[in-house]
Copies of this chain bind each other. A is one copy, B any other.
Amino acid sequence: MTFNWSKEPFILGLIYSLAIFGGSYILDFHIYIPWQPISIIGIAVAFYLGFKNNSAYDRTWEARKIWGGIVNNSRSFGAAALAFVSGADSDQVIKELIYRHVAWLTALRHQLRLSRPWEHAENRLNGKYAPTVCEDYTEKLDLELKPFLTEKEILALDGKTNTATQIMKNQAIRLQALRDKGYFEDFRHMEFHQLIVSFYADQGKAERIKNFPFPRQYASTAVWLTIVFCGFVPMGLLDIAKSANGWVYWVSPVISALIIWVFFLMEKIGDYSENPFEGTYNDVPITSIAKGIEIDLREMIDDTNIPSPVQDENGFLL
């Protein structure tokens, strides 16, 4: 699978290497360059790619941690709702709170899947589940929010820049109203409020990763360094192979292609985990996580029509 996904640089590298070696053979003029400086560039590039991969991986892992935090706080919210709210029709109130929370999750998830200029849109998985931009986006979101919010509340959200932020604000106002009606008192209200603060923190962290890409110059430097190095590789190998016997001469383009493949593989791998919410392979599976939270919360209130967990397709989870 890994090879499949990265075969392009190998093939291009092979063609390029064969061109250099074949050309040199036919023209009887070796367009070689000495190997030693290439070796230094190679080490420097390997370092740089190591740094880039590290940072890219950290972004993915941080994104996963943030959604892990959403899971934890959501469960605490569910347990708190069940334990703290008491009074007439408390079941209805608890359900309302949990449903609004699921609505927030849904809006947040959709906002994070909107595409950004620096993402790999072409590699998205046929757009499946991944919302496309603006036009039909609001409509689709409203449809998904419908089971969880009243029509009035959905209407009031229209035109707001950040839907999730406003849903959570509604939750905060509603909690104060419930406090005023005596469903719980100050101590418990403050616990709820602490959770609101946590949810805003989690949302903001996810948006930060979405909106602040790995600095573009760091990223493009990695590409340029890799290209410069790989461009030199076959010429450098020609220096070594030009005086060798036939076997080594003709196996060298393959070696050259493999080196090119190794470096582009290391370059590409970071590239794909840089943006953990873009909807491609290796992403944080936010749809699946959000569904999991919904299931846990609705099982807490013994709700009906609970969806089943999201299944992976060929090891791929959205």
Contact = CB atoms under 8 A, between A and B. Distances in A.
Contact of A215 (B236, B263, B282): B282
A225 B196 CA distance: 46
B57 A57 contact: no
Interface stretch (A71-79, A123-131, A132-140, A147-155): A71-79
Most-contacted residue by chain B among A1, A51, A83, A296 (CB, 10 A):
A83
A275 interface: no
The number of times this chain is found in the oligomer is 5
B46 A47 contact: yes
A245 B7 CA distance: 36
A262 interface: yes
A146 interface: no
Nearest to A179: B83
A79 B172 contact: yes
Contact of A273 (B51, B73, B203, B215): B215
A20 interface: no
Nearest to A46: B44
Nearest to A185: B186
A240 to B, nearest CB: 4
A256 B228 CA distance: 12
Most-contacted residue by chain B among A46, A60, A186, A190 (CB, 10 A):
A46
B55 A55 contact: no
Contacts of A120: none
A41 B2 contact: no
B221 A265 contact: yes
Contacts of A55: 57
A248 to B, nearest CB: 6
Contact of A224 (B208, B265, B282): B265
Contact of A44 (B176, B248, B262): B262
B57 A215 contact: yes
Contacts of A39: 36, 39-40
Given A34-B240, A43-B40, A44-B263, A204 B71 contact: yes
Given A36-B39, A217-B5, A205 B295 contact: no
A168 interface: yes
Contact of A217 (B71, B217, B282): B282
9 contacts: A2-B221, A37-B256, A40-B42, A40-B46, A42-B43, A48-B50, A75-B168, A169-B300, A188-B190
In the A-B complex, the 7 residue pairs with the smallest Cβ-Cβ separation, listed nearest first, are A72-B204, A68-B208, A79-B172, A83-B176, A44-B46, A83-B172, A2-B220
